[in-house]
Chains A and B, each alone.
Chain A
Amino acid sequence: MTIFLYTAFVVLVFGVAVYLSVRSSLLRELDSSLESVARALSQSVDAEPGEVEVDIDSEAVALISSKEKELFFEMWVSGGTSLIRSPSVSEGGLRCFTKLNTAARFRFLKLGGNLKVRAVGFKFTPTYRVIELTGSRSNGVSLEGARTATRNAEPVMIVVARDFSPIARRLQRVLITLLVGGILTLCASVFGAFMTARYIARPLDRISEEVRARTVENLAPIEPTEPVPEEIEPLVATVNQLLGEVRETLQREKRFSSDVAHELKTRLAGLRTLIEVTITSQRGAGEYRRALTECVIIARRMEKIVDRLLCLARIEAGNISLEKRTIQLDELLQACWKPLEPLARQRSLSVEWSVAEGIALTTDPFWLAWRSAISSKTQSLIVMRGALHPSARSVRMALSL
C-alpha cells in the first residue's frame, strides 16, 4: 500500500509538472503568435491630422477571416469608434481589457457562443508627419526653413484573439496521455514492486514455514532447498543458531530431569528395598535400629538433593546470585588426593604428579561437586588399579591446559 501511494504521488507530481510545462509552452507560443499578428495589424494603421484609419479594406478583412477562422481582432480609437474588426466579432466583443497600455497584455476571454479565446491587447499611438513652414499668410508662405515634425494621432486599442479550442484539445490529449501513462506506470511500478517483494519475500515465507514447522520434538536446523538471496543468509544463520541454542537448552533440561530422576529414584529404591528386606523376617532390635538409621540417612540425602534442586531453580529464576571464586586446580587435586593417601599406601601405590601449576578457574560454588567427583574417581582408580593390575605401583595424576 505504501509503495502504491508513494508511486501514485510521484506519478501525479510528475504528470502535473509535465502538463503545466506543456501548457505553459503552448501558451507562450500562442501568445507570441498573437502579439506578432497584433503588431502586424497595428502597422496597418494610417494616421492623419484629426483622422486615423486602417489601411486594410473589407475584402482583405474577409480574406483574413476566412483563412484564419480562429483569429478574432478589433481595433478602436480611444473615443470608442471601431477602426476594424473581424466579422464574427460584435462591436465591443473583444473590449474586455480593463485598461490597455503599450505593453501587451494577455488573457482568456469568452466570446459569444461560449467560445474560449486567448487574447492579447495593447494601446499604440500612430503618428503622422507634418511640414512646418515659416512665414505668414499675408507675407507669402516660404519653403525656406521648413521642417518636418512628427505628431501623435489619437491612441488606438487593438485586441487580437485566437480560438483556444485547438490548444485545449492538444492539452486534453496531453492530459489523457499523461493519465494513461501515469496509470500504466503506476500499475507497472506496483506490479514490479510486488514481484520484487514476492521475490524477496518468498524465501522469507519458506523460512517462516520452516520455523513454524519446528516443534519441541523437531529442532533441526533449517536447510533451504533453494538458494536464498544473500540478504537472507544472515537471517537463516541467526535462526539456526537460535534453534541450536533451544535444542541444547532442551537437551540440557532433559539431561537434568533424567539426572534428577536417577538420583531421587535410586535413593527411593534403596529406601524401599531396605525396608522390604528388613520386614521380610523377624529381627532383633539392633538390626531394626540399624535399618531405620540407614533409612534416615537416605532420607537426609534425598532432602539435600531436593534442597540443591530448589537452589538451582532459584538461581535460574534469578532469585539467588552466585558468587564466583577462583580455584587453583592443582591445589584442588592435592586436596582430593590427601585423604586417599593412606588407602594408596595400603595398596602400595604411589602417586606420580604431572600437574601444571597456576591453572586457575573462576567458577561458582558448585566446584564443591567437582571436588566430590574427583575424589570419588580417584578412589575408584586406586581400588580398581589395585584389583585389576596387582603389579601396578603408581597412580598418575595429570593436569594440563
Chain B
Amino acid sequence: MRILIIEDYASLRNALVKGLREAGFAVDSTGDGEEGLWYAMGNDYDVIILDLMLPGVDGLTILQKLRKRRQKTHILILTVKGELEDKLKGLELGADDYMVKPFAFEELVARVKALIRRGYGSKNPVIEIGDIRIDTNSRRVWRRESEIHLTAREYAILEYLALRRGEIASRTEIWEHIYDWASDNTSNVVDVYTALLRRKLDRKGEPSIIETVRGRGYSLTGEHDD
C-alpha cells in the first residue's frame, strides 16, 4: 500500500518514512505543502499522512482542495494542534482520522492499516480467500495450517489483490500501490513478483489463486469471507 507523508519537520518525516517502509508500505514524502498537494493530486495514494502547519500551503487547505476534487484518498491528520475545535475542524473538512503529536508509532501504523481496510471495504484484518488466510496486522500468510513465507514485495502484492478481491487490478495500479518513488523498479517487476507469489501459493493440479486477465491485469480467485 502506498502512503504519502506531508510533514515539514525532517527528523520526524525521515523516521516515519523509515518506520512505515519497514512496516511494508511504499512511502513518498515531502516537507513542503505545495509540493505535497502536487504529489497528492498526481498520484493515487492509499493514505496521506498530513501535518497542518506547513510551509507553502497549509494542511487544511490541502485537505479542502483534495476533497473538492472528490479525491477519496484517506487522509490522517498528524499535528500538534490537539484542541477539540482543531480536531472538529479537521474532521469536518474531510479528514478520516486525527492524531496529535507526540504519538505512539504503533498506533499510527494501526490507524493507517484500519484506513486502508476501510478504503477497500474490508472490516476484518484477517482476510480469508479459499484456504488462504492473510493476517494484515502481522503480515503473515497461511494456507490451511501451514505458514507461507513471503517477501515484503510479495506480501504487498498479495495483500493488495486480496483487498481488491473480485476486482481486476492492472499492473499500473499494482505498481502505483506497491512502489514509491524511492524504489528501484523495472517495467516488469509486477509480473516478476506475481510469478513468485504463484510459485509459493499455488498447488499442483489446482488452478492458480492469482488469475491473469489478459490485457487488463490480475485478480485473486477463490471463495472469500469477509
Contacts and interface: CB of A to CB of B under 8 A. Distances in A.
Asked if chains A and B come from one complex, the reply is yes
A268 interface: yes
Contacts of B81: 258, 262
Given A265-B80, A265-B102, A380-B32, A270 B55 contact: no
Nearest to A263: B80
B102 A277 contact: no
A225 interface: no
Interface residues of A, number: 27
Interface stretch (A144-152, A238-246, A361-369, A383-391): A383-391
Contacts of A262: 53, 80-81
B9 A277 contact: no
B38 interface: yes
Given A384-B56, A388-B38, A281 B22 contact: yes
Contacts of A334: none
A261 B80 contact: yes
A377 B55 contact: yes
Given A265-B80, A277-B22, A388-B38, A270 B106 contact: no
Interface of A is mostly: helix
B104 A276 contact: yes
A376 B31 CA distance: 12
A308 interface: no
Interface string A12-51: 0000000000000000000000000000000000000000
Interface in A348-401: 376-377, 380, 383-384, 387-388
Given A266-B80, A380-B55, A276 B106 contact: yes
Contacts of B56: 380, 384
Contacts of A258: 81
A64 B109 CA distance: 134
Interface string B29-40: 000101100100
Given A380-B56, A383-B32, A384-B34, A276 B11 contact: no
A208 interface: no
Interface in B54-79: 55-56
Contacts of A276: 19, 104-106
B9 A270 contact: yes
Given A280-B19, A377-B55, A380-B56, A273 B34 contact: no
Contacts of A204: none
B19 A273 contact: yes
B137 to A, nearest CB: 14
Interface string A221-233: 0000000000000
A269 B56 CA distance: 22
B21 to A, nearest CB: 10
A111 interface: no
A129 B81 CA distance: 132
* Residue of B9, B15, B35 with most partner-chain A CB within 10 A: B15
Interface in A205-258: 258
Interface string B17-32: 0110010000000001
A270 B12 contact: yes
A272 interface: yes
Contacts of A274: 11-12, 15
Nearest to A258: B81
Contacts of B22: 277, 280-281
A276 B22 CA distance: 12
B200 to A, nearest CB: 23
B16 interface: yes
Given A274-B11, A294-B11, A376-B55, A384 B35 contact: yes
A100 to B, nearest CB: 107
Given A265-B80, A276-B19, A387 B38 contact: yes
A265 B22 CA distance: 24
B120 interface: no
B48 to A, nearest CB: 17
Contact of B35 (A266, A272, A387): A387
List the 5 shortest-distance A-B pairs measured between CB atoms, nearest first.
A277-B19, A269-B101, A270-B12, A270-B11, A269-B102
10 contacts: A262-B80, A267-B9, A270-B12, A270-B15, A271-B102, A273-B105, A276-B105, A280-B19, A297-B11, A377-B55
Interface of A: 258, 261-262, 265-274, 276-277, 280-281, 294, 297-298, 376-377, 380, 383-384, 387-388
